[in-house]
């Protein structure tokens, strides 16, 4: 289990240097002012006279590490957000589902895709990347979202679910893909401690690597950088698109290439049903020689809050649902919604493609969002606003799509692969997700000849180490004897 230093905006001076020694490296007030003045950001020093030496050092370190040249890019992102120019959209090609069965509608490609994916896994050519920087705040949970106890009977956490799925891949193909976990600075410590406490949930500790995404400052309506306290800037995670820079800065990109990893299987922490290292999906990505592949599901309706895979001026993009005009979002044909392909944030990436992007001068674009953020007033006191007052910035991983030479999109069964845990209640809250899992496995059992009635609270749980989907469970049922009496009480198949 390894750790790499967090990239992005932060302490720029000799990590680990004793504080007293580091003081000699601190720029003077005049030097900091000279750095900030051309960019119109000298207000960051407004509280300098009242700061302690340690606080001055912390603020000086942040100011010294600022990429002031990025201010112009931030302001462009704000202008783009304000303008909301209409897009020239059209549907994008997708490998669609004809039936709800594994391994998707690939026709004659099915065996070829599965064989290619299986070979890549057997040869150790695949690594997994779990994006897990989020906190469980919206769920009323005090820790990292991946530590949330989700499954109905065992209360298995999201992190353990993914680890056990990965162990199952290793058992089937002879090699367990290395797991890279991208955390935030806020949750890196608790996440590492959780994995250590649980001995990486049975994964080889040398096969789990943590790295922290970077952070970006924020701007107010006048284009001024925002302070969180008199001695620190208001910083936020740089988004899942920050993974490229983070992989480079922590040395993971070099390690992937050195170890001969050709494909990175990417997924996010809040999807309880995501297949880890899906052999057919990976194989399709490889046989079609894609730079980027993605999974999509049919949107429930035009208001579902997911990004939509489509073409913008003929170029593959994922467009946020909020960026569609009302007419575009409701547009239908004889098959239903024209823009139906909702992204579930599951990708396969060519490592060579990511390395090219990470080392090129081009960067993924910034996206701005107008948020309500507590800020300091002229006296240095925190004021909580009632309306959005600060622009926050992120980079998105799906902005790799327009840069790819070849993109493949695959439709997958929603009920089998997309069950996001996002809200405190409702269908995407903990109880809603547990009920959906219970219903899914009951249907899978019924397909195997065991008709059971769905109950509340959920009473059926299948260990991810045993089966990842209904197809896997059918194989298990063929080798086991179960009868109706097993369902008179909570049943955990493991």
Q: Are residues 32 and 166 in the same domain?
A: no
Instruction: Judge if 479 and 404 occupy the same domain.
Output: no
pLDDT at position 489 is 61
Note whether 413 and 430 are same-domain residues. Answer: no
Clarify whether residues 96 and 165 are in a common domain.
yes
Q: In the structure, what pLDDT confidence band is assigned to residue 483 with cuts at 50, 70 and 90?
A: low
What is the bridge-based pairing of β-strands 315-319 and 308-312? antiparallel
The whole-number pLDDT of residue 453 equals 66
pLDDT (0 to 100) of residue 484: 53
Domain of residue 137, residue span: 79-422
Answer yes or no: do 61 and 193 share one domain: no
User: Which pLDDT score is estimated for 5?
Assistant: 43
Question: Which 8-state DSSP code applies to residue 15?
Answer: T
Q: Which two tokens stand for residue 324?
A: 């569609």
Asked if the structure places residue 229 within a domain, the reply is yes
Tell whether 72 is covered by a domain: no
pTM, entire model: 0.91
Q: Does residue 73 sit within a domain?
A: no
Q: In the prediction, which pLDDT does 238 show? A: 94
Q: Which tokens sit at 119?
A: 């070979």
CATH of the domain at 194: 3.90.550.10
Are 306 and 372 in a shared domain?
Answer: yes
Cα 42 to Cα 22, 30, 36, 63: the distances in Å are 23, 11, 5, 10
DSSP helix/strand/coil, 300: coil
86 shares a domain with 151:
yes
Any domain includes 403 = yes
Say whether both 416 and 435 belong to one domain.
Answer: no
Q: Are residues 203 and 116 in the same domain?
A: yes
Q: In the structure, what pLDDT confidence band is assigned to residue 21 with cuts at 50, 70 and 90? A: very low
> Are residues 463 and 337 both part of a single domain?
no
Residues 415 and 428 in one domain: no
Question: Distance between terminal CA atoms of the chain?
Answer: 27
Using a pLDDT cut of 70, give the percent of the chain over it.
90
Average pLDDT, stretch 360-364?
81
**Statement to judge: residues 54 and 149 lie in one domain:** no
Q: How many domains does the chain have?
A: 3
Tell me, rounded to whole angstroms, the distance of Cα 105 from its chain centroid: 26
pLDDT confidence band for 120 (50 / 70 / 90): very high
| pLDDT tens figures, 31-61 | 999 999 999 999 999 999 999 999 999 999 9
């Amino acid at each position: 289990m390894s750790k790499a230093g967090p990239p992005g905006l932060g302490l720029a001076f000799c990590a680990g240097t004793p504080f007293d020694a580091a003081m000699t490296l601190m720029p003077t007030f005049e030097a900091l002012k000279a750095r900030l003045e051309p960019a119109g950001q000298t207000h960051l020093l407004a509280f300098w006279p009242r700061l302690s030496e340690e606080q001055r050092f912390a603020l000086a370190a942040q100011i010294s590490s600022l990429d002031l040249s990025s201010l112009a890019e931030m302001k462009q992102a704000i202008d783009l957000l304000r303008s909301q120019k209409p897009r020239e959209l059209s549907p994008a090609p997708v490998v669609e589902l004809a039936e709800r069965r594994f391994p998707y509608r690939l026709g004659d490609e099915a065996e070829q895709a599965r064989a290619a994916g299986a070979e890549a896994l057997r040869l150790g050519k695949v690594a997994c990347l779990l994006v897990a920087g989020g906190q469980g705040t919206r769920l009323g949970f005090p820790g990292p979202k991946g530590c949330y106890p989700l499954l109905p009977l065992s209360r298995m956490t999201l992190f353990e679910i993914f680890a056990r799925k990965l162990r199952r891949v290793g058992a089937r193909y002879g090699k367990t893909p290395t797991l890279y976990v991208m955390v935030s600075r806020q949750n890196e410590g608790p996440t590492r401690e959780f994995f250590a406490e649980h001995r990486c949930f049975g994964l080889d500790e040398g096969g789990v690597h943590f790295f922290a995404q970077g952070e970006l400052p924020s701007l107010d309506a006048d284009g001024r950088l925002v302070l969180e306290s008199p001695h620190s800037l208001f910083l936020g995670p740089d988004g899942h698109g920050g993974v490229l820079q983070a992989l480079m800065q922590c040395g993971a990109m070099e390690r992937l290439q050195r170890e001969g990893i050709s494909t990175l299987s990417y997924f996010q922490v809040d999807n309880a049903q995501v297949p880890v290292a899906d052999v057919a999906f990976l194989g399709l990505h490889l046989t079609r020689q894609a730079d980027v592949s993605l999974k999509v599901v049919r949107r429930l309706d035009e208001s579902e809050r997911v990004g939509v895979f489509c073409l913008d001026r003929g170029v593959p993009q994922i467009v946020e649902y909020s960026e569609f005009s009302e007419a575009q979002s409701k547009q239908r044909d004889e098959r239903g919604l024209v823009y139906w392909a909702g992204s579930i944030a599951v990708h396969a990436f060519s490592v060579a493609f990511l390395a090219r992007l990470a080392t090129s001068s081009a960067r993924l674009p910034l996206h701005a969002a107008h948020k309500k953020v507590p800020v300091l007033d002229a006296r240095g006191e925190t004021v909580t606003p009632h309306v959005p007052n600060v622009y926050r910035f992120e980079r998105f991983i799906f902005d790799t799509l327009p840069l790819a030479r070849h993109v493949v999109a695959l439709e997958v069964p929603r009920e089998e692969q997309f069950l996001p845990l996002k809200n405190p209640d409702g269908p995407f809250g903990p109880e809603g997700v547990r009920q959906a899992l219970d219903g899914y496995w009951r249907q899978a059992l019924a397909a195997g000849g065991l008709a059971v009635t769905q109950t509340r609270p959920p009473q059926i749980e299948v260990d991810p180490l045993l089966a990842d989907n209904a197809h896997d469970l059918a194989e298990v049922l063929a080798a086991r004897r179960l009868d109706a009496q097993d369902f008179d009480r909570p049943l955990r198949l493991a």
